[in-house]
């Protein structure tokens, strides 16, 4: 079985780069990629790409840092409609982000951004429930210590109160501590590991102690113009380096990690995963 990148934003790259990225991913053994939306319009772009490229599947959602205010009824109707599309396999990317520059933006109506984020997260989980979509969610704390912030407690509370564990999903780009990871698992979710695993010793320690059947792999793959060398930008091909590091940490072969993490992801996708399995097994 080939690798499955469960979360990437390659729709944000220049259109002319797409074919090269997909070719490099295939050469690295990545058989399928889930492209996650960050706004309603961006989610539509994800679906469009997934319709045109067999190895791509779509996630739909509104990212907490891309909210311009409360979600409107038109936004929720659009998400509901897109969630029915056969190429949509996850609700993503929604979540909680408590970085100061996000929460301190001015609001004309006086509402706090933290409250708006929480409401939007709950609403998107409701959409996910209606369509049986797993939720691949975002959490970002205000500082470098994932255990000392306010975002994770809010996110976990929302997940519990909304019974999101019934549909499952994954904590995207996880960089938290072992205690947080265990809370994610207890809530009914996978832990999604990305390239920070290559450099963060504390995250490597977490990865060594998690059940292997609760780990999935991703790259995020946003454009990275702050890296002047284009060859160093993260792409779906880097799912292989994440798998290699995880294999090293766990004393497994890369082939075993690819098999296990892809099966984990397919289990997370449930019925929506059959078309993804067909791509991975080609």
Q: What is the mean pLDDT of the chain?
A: 96
CA–CA separation, 167 and 176 (whole Å)? 22
Query: What's the pLDDT score for residue 147?
Result: 67
Task: Report helix angle 239-250 to 201-209, nearest 10.
Answer: 70
Mean pLDDT on 243-249? 98
* Four-residue CA torsion sign, 19, 24, 29, 33: negative
Percent of the chain with pLDDT over 90: 93
State both tokens at 68.
């311009």
- Report all structural domains of the chain as residue ranges with CATH numbers, in order of start: 3-280 (3.20.20.140)
For the chain, the distance separating the N- and C-terminal CA atoms, rounded to the nearest angstrom, is: 9
Q: Is 234 left (phi over 0), alpha (psi -120 to 50) or beta?
A: beta
* Torsional class of 170: left (φ above 0), alpha (ψ -120 to 50), beta (otherwise): beta
Q: Which residues of 119-146 are buried (b: 16+ CB within 10 A; e: fewer)?
A: ebbbbbbebbbebebbbbbbbbbbeeeb
User: Does residue 58 come out as left (phi exceeding 0), alpha (psi in the -120 to 50 range) or beta?
Assistant: beta
In 3-state terms, what secondary structure has residue 44? helix
Residue 143, pLDDT score? 72
pLDDT at 83: 98
Work out the number of other CB atoms within 10 angstroms of the CB of residue 174.
Answer: 26
DSSP state of 166: G
Rounded Cα gap, residues 276 and 269, in angstroms: 9
pLDDT tens-digit readout, 190-233: 999 999 999 999 999 999 999 999 999 999 999 999 999 999 99
The DSSP result for 23-43, as a single string, is HHHHHTTEEEEEEEPSSHHHH
Q: What is the pLDDT of residue 146?
A: 66
> Which residues, 6+ apart, have CB-to-CB distance to 144 below 8 Å?
none
Q: Collapse the DSSP code of 174 into the 3-class scheme (helix H, G, I; strand E, B; otherwise coil) and give the result.
A: coil
Q: pTM here?
A: 0.97
Question: Which range (27-36, 128-137, 141-150, 167-176) has the least confidence?
Answer: 141-150
CB 37 within 8 A of CB 9: no
Answer for the pair 206, 192: CB distance below 8 angstroms, yes or no. Answer: no
3-state helix, strand, coil in the chain (%, to 5): 50, 15, 30
pLDDT (tens digit per residue) in 102-154: 998 877 577 899 999 999 999 999 999 999 999 999 999 987 676 678 999 99
CA pair distance 166, 157, nearest whole angstrom: 14
| 178's tokens | 């072992």
At 114 the three-state DSSP class reads helix
pLDDT of residue 108: 58
Over range 22-48, report the average pLDDT.
Answer: 98
The four Cα atoms 82, 33, 134, 178 give a dihedral, to 10 degrees, of -150
Q: Above pLDDT 70, what percent of the chain?
A: 98
């Amino acid at each position: 079985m080939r690798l499955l990148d469960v979360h990437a934003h390659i729709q944000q790259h220049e259109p002319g780069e797409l074919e090269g990225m997909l070719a490099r991913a295939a050469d690295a053994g990545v058989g399928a990629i889930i492209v996650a939306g960050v706004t309603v319009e961006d989610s539509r772009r994800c679906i469009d790409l997934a319709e045109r490229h067999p190895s791509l599947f779509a996630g739909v959602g509104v990212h907490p840092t891309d909210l311009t205010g409360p979600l409107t009824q038109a936004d929720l109707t659009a998400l509901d409609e897109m969630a029915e599309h056969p190429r949509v396999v996850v609700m993503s990317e929604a979540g909680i982000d408590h970085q100061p520059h996000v929460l301190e933006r001015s609001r004309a109506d006086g509402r706090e951004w933290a409250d708006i984020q929480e409401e939007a997260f709950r609403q998107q989980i409701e959409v996910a429930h209606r369509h049986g979509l797993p939720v691949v969610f975002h959490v970002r704390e205000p500082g470098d210590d994932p255990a000392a912030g306010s975002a994770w407690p809010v996110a976990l509370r929302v997940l519990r109160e909304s019974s999101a564990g019934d549909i499952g999903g994954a904590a995207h780009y996880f960089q938290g501590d072992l205690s947080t990871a265990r809370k994610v698992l207890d809530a009914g979710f996978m832990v999604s590991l990305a390239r920070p695993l290559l450099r963060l010793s504390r995250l490597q320690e977490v990865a060594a102690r998690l059940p292997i059947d609760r780990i999935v792999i991703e790259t995020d793959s946003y454009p990275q113009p702050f890296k002047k060398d284009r060859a160093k930008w993260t792409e779906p091909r880097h799912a292989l380096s994440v798998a290699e590091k995880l294999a090293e940490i766990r004393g497994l072969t890369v082939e075993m990690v690819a098999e296990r993490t892809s099966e984990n992801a397919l289990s997370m996708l449930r019925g929506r995963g059959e078309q993804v399995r067909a791509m991975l097994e080609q």
